[in-house]
Amino acid sequence: MATSCSLISTFFHFSSSLSRFTNTKPHSHSSPSLLHLPRPLHQPTTLFFLRPQQPSPSPSSKPTTTTTTLLPKLSFSSSSCTFLDSCFLFCTSVALSLTLFLTGADSASAFVVTTPRKLQSDELATVRLFQENTPSVVYITNLAVKQDAFTLDVLEVPQGSGSGFIWDKDGHVVTNYHVIRGASDLRVTLADQSTYDAKIVGFDQDKDVAVLRVEAPKEKLRPIPIGISADLLVGQKVFAIGNPFGLDHTLTTGVISGLRREISSAATGRPIQDVIQTDAAINPGNSGGPLLDSAGNLIGINTAIYSPSGASSGVGFSIPVDTVNGIVEQLVKFGKVTRPILGIKFAPDQSVEQLGVSGVLVLDAPANGPAGKAGLQSTKRDSYGRLILGDIITSVNGKKVTNGSDLYRILDQCKVGDKVIVEVLRGDHKEKIPVILEPKPDES
Query: Nearest-CA neighbor of 272 among 218, 223, 322?
Result: 322
Contact yes or no for 308/270 (Cβ under 8 A): no
Query: What values do phi and psi take at 322, rounded to 5?
Result: -65, -35
| CB-count exposure of residue 133 (10 Å: 0-12, 13-18, 19+) | buried
Helices (H) and strands (E) in the chain, counts: 8, 24
- Cα separation, 174 vs 332, in Å, equals 10
Contact yes or no for 76/22 (Cβ under 8 A): yes
Alpha helix stretches (DSSP H) within 335-416: 349-354, 370-374, 404-411
End-to-end CA distance of the chain: 60
Out of 161, 287, 318, 395, pick the active-site residue: 287
- Cα separation, 316 vs 319, in Å, equals 10
Which one-letter DSSP state was computed for residue 169?
Answer: T
Out of 178, 229, 378, 395, pick the active-site residue: 178
The set of residues, in sequence order, having a beta carbon less than 8 Å from that of 277 and lying 6+ positions away, is 256, 257, 258, 259, 261, 315, 316, 317
- The CB-side HSE value for 228 (13 A sphere, CA atoms) comes to 2
Does 208 qualify as catalytic in the annotation?
yes
Does 36 qualify as catalytic in the annotation?
no
State the DSSP H helix or E strand holding residue 254, giving kind and residue range, or none if neither: strand 250-264
**C-alpha distance from residue 249 to each of 45, 120, 134, 165, 237 (Å):** 69, 23, 7, 11, 19
**Going by DSSP bridges, is the β-strand pair 250-264/387-388 parallel, antiparallel, or unpaired?**
unpaired
Does 287 qualify as catalytic in the annotation?
yes
- Cα separation, 432 vs 423, in Å, equals 4
The set of residues, in sequence order, having a beta carbon less than 8 Å from that of 376 and lying 6+ positions away, is 344, 362, 365, 390, 391, 422, 424, 433, 435
Q: Taking the CB of residue 81, how many other CB atoms lie within 10 A of it?
A: 17
Which residues does residue 422 pair with via DSSP β-bridges, in sequence order?
A: 396, 433
Out of 206, 208, 279, 293, pick the active-site residue: 208
- Phi-psi label, residue 232: left if phi above 0, alpha if psi -120 to 50, beta otherwise: beta
Query: So which residues are the catalytic ones?
Result: 178, 208, 287
